[in-house]
Amino acid sequence: MELYARVNILDGRAVRLPYGDIHDVIALDDDPVNRARGWISKGADRLHIVDLDAAAYGDYKNRKLIGDIIRAVDVPVQVGGGIRSQAEVDRVLGMGAWRVVIGTLAIIDQVLFWELNRQHPHRIMVSLDVRPDLEISIKGWTEQTGEYLEETLINLSSGGAAGFMISEVGRDALVEPPNFEALKMAVALVDEPVIAAGGVRDLDDIATLVNLTENGHKLAGLVVGREVTAGRFTVEEAAEAFATAGHVQGPWTRAELDSALARYRDAVADPTDADAATVFVDWLGAGGTEAPG
């Protein structure tokens, strides 16, 4: 399970959205590059950058700054916010992003979504905003879709999504718990990585998420941000909770191996490495005694 640190950028600054409303932002740092480096130095495994100007206003003035962040850190960086076209996907990946994160586009234009995954396999992460009844909302929670989590996950998984980020519509992450049932459904349904992106209240929530298991699958990651700046816990404490809670070295079920293999394919640069790993997992599944092939 990987720890993702969130960096929200608005007008060239790192900001916090206490209630999810862009009009209520709190400035955190005039130097988002420095803030990103700080997250990594404290133990974050990945960065999740959200370009709020692009998302809210279609203004892409922060893209150069985001490129500076990507070059300044030595961990994978995924970028979301205002990515609504093939040209913008190409642009952000060309800046060096590990993945792009899309939400509304994946729901309203699945033909384009399939094409993007064909061109950029394992690079398109889908962000899903889930209501309490598991209906999917889009366009910054302003529109309901009439589509629900289960069918959406199945459809987008078949379309080639690199993974899924699950957030809860309207939840105050510092007061209310994550929707554990929605997260269980997600990890049970798809082999792609599932990331809890809606925030947590405290270290107890982290422990629950680390140990969350369904059909042999576990969560692949957790995004933190507001909880840390609000003083609920430090990045170091979160990283320690990841290292100690539910950590096992084996044995594994076949489902767990397949899930790990999917994450490994996502992380390696050389496709032949992933091919070799697949052969190894298949060999283990066949009993691990006869010569592979």
User: 234: pLDDT confidence band, cut at 50, 70 and 90?
Assistant: very high
pLDDT (tens digit, 9 = 90+) per residue, 99-151?
999 998 999 999 999 999 999 999 999 999 999 999 998 887 778 888 999 99
The residue among 86, 52, 93 whose CA lies nearest residue 70 is: 93
pLDDT reading at 47 higher than 80: yes
CA distance 142 to 290: 56
**Pair of tokens at residue 189:** 């349904």
- The β-bridge partners of 77 are 47
Element holding 78 (H helix, E strand): strand 77-80
User: 216: pLDDT confidence band, cut at 50, 70 and 90?
Assistant: confident
What is the separation, in whole angstroms, between the first and last Cα of the chain? 32
pLDDT value of residue 247: 46
Bigger pLDDT: 263 vs 131: 131
Bigger pLDDT: 145 vs 46: 46
Strands 143-148 and 135-138: antiparallel
User: 6: pLDDT confidence band, cut at 50, 70 and 90?
Assistant: very high
pLDDT (tens digit, 9 = 90+) per residue, 174-183?
899 999 999 9
Phi, psi of 60, deg, nearest 5: -100, 30
Q: Are 17 and 56 in contact (CB under 8 A)?
A: no
Domain boundaries in the chain?
A: 2-247, 250-293
Which of the residue ranges 31-40, 81-90, 205-214, 272-281 would you say has the lowest mean pLDDT? 272-281
pLDDT value of residue 135: 94
Q: Are 187 and 212 in contact (CB under 8 A)?
A: yes
pLDDT reading at 257 higher than 70: yes
Phi, psi of 234, deg, nearest 5: -95, 165
pLDDT (tens digit, 9 = 90+) per residue, 188-210?
999 999 999 999 999 999 999 99
- The β-bridge partners of 100 are 79, 124
CATH architecture of 2-247: Alpha-Beta Barrel (3.20)
Give pTM, 2 decimals: 0.80
Phi, psi of 130, deg, nearest 5: -110, 130
Q: What is the mean pLDDT of the chain?
A: 88
User: 252: pLDDT confidence band, cut at 50, 70 and 90?
Assistant: low
